[in-house]
A and B are shown apart, each in its own frame.
Chain A
Amino acid sequence: KAGVTQTPRYLIKTRGQQVTLSCSPISGHRSVSWYQQTPGQGLQFLFEYFSETQRNKGNFPGRFSGRQFSNSRSEMNVSTLELGDSALYLCASSSHVTGSAGELFFGEGSRLTVL
């Protein structure tokens, strides 16, 4: 069974630009969640999608957005990039249907550097 796939793995952007990251969950998983990981703030929850609907959202500004497609693939977008957005962005999929969490399967992440 293929794992969670994230693309691109590495990218460099400049301030003010926007970026789109992609995540393909494990086949059959309908829940996809996104996280930002930085040395200073640790692993922080961005949002979670289930069946194309955003079910939960973390405490991030509106510049951070996402969506999920009918095949459960998900994208997240960050607009008007700031230096502080430099981070490892992780996507995780889960087979859990209810609001309580099951095991999260993480992708290898997309490392974003903002110059």
Chain B
Amino acid sequence: GQQVMQIPQYQHVQEGEDFTTYCNSSTTLSNIQWYKQRPGGHPVFLIQLVKSGEVKKQKRLTFQFGEAKKNSSLHITATQTTDVGTYFCARHASGGSYIPTFGRGTSLIVHP
């Protein structure tokens, strides 16, 4: 199937350290979305990337879409305790079919 592999599964960091999660696909992605889910909460949309090589920033968060549109990354600079949660990437099948596939997520634990 059209899976997206997300690594790492867990990441422990000290507050102030940087964090990166990666999303990889064996097939070309039409677009990639990123969501954040706080513990006990629900996924919240962060961003959507569409163009090859696209880079978008949201304050301390930087999102990248690979040149070949087969991978994406989310980088957080100087993590804070408010960044704790699970970050998911999601791909959508191309060709007009709306069936989103989510990565397994990366759980970020920030130690104060």
Contact = CB atoms under 8 A, between A and B. Distances in A.
A16 interface: no
Contact of B99 (A58, A90, A92): A58
Contacts of A108: 41-42
B8 interface: no
Interface residues of B, number: 23
Interface in A87-115: 90, 92, 98-109
Given A90-B43, A108-B41, A101 B33 contact: yes
Given A45-B99, A56-B97, A56-B99, A104 B104 contact: no
Contacts of B96: 98-100
A104 B92 CA distance: 12
Given A48-B98, A106-B42, 15 more contacts: A31-B98, A33-B100, A42-B104, A44-B102, A45-B99, A48-B99, A58-B99, A90-B42, A99-B98, A100-B31, A101-B33, A103-B33, A103-B48, A104-B43, A106-B44
A11 interface: no
B74 to A, nearest CB: 16
A86 B92 CA distance: 26
A43 interface: yes
B6 to A, nearest CB: 9
B105 to A, nearest CB: 7
